[in-house]
Homo-oligomer: A and B are copies of this chain.
Amino acid sequence: MGAPGGKCTIAVDAMGSDLGPTEFVRGLLYAAEELKLDCDFVLVGKGRLLERLLKVRKLTVDPARITIHHASEVVSMQDKPIQALRKKKDSSMAQAIELLRNGQADAVVSCGNTGALMAGGTLRMRPLDGVDRPALGIIVPSRKQPFVLIDVGANPESTPLNLMHNAIMGANYAKAALGRTSPRVGLLTIGTEEGKGNSLINASHTYLKAINGEVINYVGPIEGFQLFDGGVDVVVCDGFVGNIVLKSSEALFGFIGDTMKEELIRNPKRVLGAALAKSAFRDMKKRLSPDHFAGAPLLGLKGNILKSHGSSNYIAIANALRIAGEVVKHDMIDSISLDINQANDLI
C-alpha cells in the first residue's frame, strides 16, 4: 500500500460534492500544489469528465501522481444508504471504498451521502476487532485551539462501551490530525458533579476513569457551556447528542451572522462602519469556519474513510485530503486498535 518512503495514496470520490466534481479537482490540486501534500491520488468518477477537468488545468505537480478510476454511477443525497450500496455498485463512492479494501488506496475522501458512506464503509471495511460501532469525529474551533468532537452522528444509540471507544478513537484522531501528544479527553454532560447527567454518562464515566492514565488522559465531565473554551482536546458524546450540537451550532452561527448583516445595513452610518470593518468580519469567519479541518473520519473501521461536508469548497476539500494524509502517516488505525485492545482488557 502506498509508494516507498511512506508515501500514501488517497482515493477521492470526486462525484459526491454539492458543488460538482470541478470543485473536487480544484481541491485536489490545491492540496498538492499549495498544501504540498505528498500523496498520490486516485480520482474516482466519470472518467471522461474527470480527464477533461484535469486537462484544462496547468498542473505543477507530476501528472503521474493523479490517476483516474472510472465509475459510471453516482450516489445522490436522496438515495437511501442501503439501497444505494446494493443498486449502485459502480458508483464513485462504492468504487473508492473498493480501492481501499483492495489495498490500492490508504484512505478514501468523499463529500457524498453520509449515510451511504457510513454504511458502505462499515460493511466493506468492517469495524476493528473489539469495536462495536464506528463513530464520526470532527474538528471544531474553540477559544484556544481546535478540538475533536466525537461522535457527531454515526451511532445515535450508544452504550458506555461505545463512548469509551469514542474517547480512544477521538484521542488518536487528535494526535494524528492536531498533533496533540497527550490529548485531554472530556465527557460531555450536564452538571459536572459525580452522579449528575444520566445513566449512560455515569457508566461511561466509570469506564473512562478505569482507563485513565493507561490508555487516555481523561480529565472528567464537561458541560455545554465549556464546549468552546478549549480546555480539552477531545469531547466525547453519543452520536445523537453530537449531531444535534454540531448542527444546531452551525445553525446558530448562520442565524447570528444573518442577524448581524440585517442590522449592519439598516442605515448609512452602519453601512459605512461595516465597510471599514469588513476585513474583521472576513477574519472572524475564517477563524470560526471549519474549512481548515474539514475531513471527518469514520473512526473504528479497518480503513481510513473521511467524510467532507457536502457543500465543501476547494479549500475544505484540500484540507480533508491533508487530514487523510496525516491519519495515514500516523498509522492511526494501528494505534486505535492497540488502545482498544488494552482498554477492553482493563475494564
Contact = CB atoms under 8 A, between A and B. Distances in A.
Given A143-B255, A156-B190, A264 B277 contact: yes
Interface in A32-67: none
A3 interface: no
Interface string A279-300: 1110110011000000000000
A342 to B, nearest CB: 29
A84 B157 CA distance: 36
A201 B244 CA distance: 13
B247 A264 contact: no
Nearest to A242: B190
Interface string A231-253: 00000010111011111111111
A8 B244 CA distance: 39
Interface string A285-324: 0011000000000000000000000000000000000000
Contacts of A331: none
B228 A251 contact: yes
Q: What bracket does the count of chain A residues touching chain B fall in? A: 35 or more
A226 interface: yes
A190 B243 contact: yes
B284 A276 contact: no
B252 A253 contact: yes
A251 B276 contact: no
A197 interface: yes
Nearest to A226: B251
20 contacts: A143-B258, A156-B190, A157-B198, A189-B240, A189-B244, A190-B240, A190-B243, A225-B248, A227-B252, A228-B255, A245-B245, A245-B248, A248-B248, A248-B249, A256-B284, A260-B284, A269-B276, A269-B277, A273-B276, A273-B278
Given A190-B244, A226-B251, A273-B278, 10 more contacts: A189-B240, A190-B240, A198-B240, A201-B240, A224-B245, A249-B249, A249-B252, A252-B253, A256-B256, A259-B287
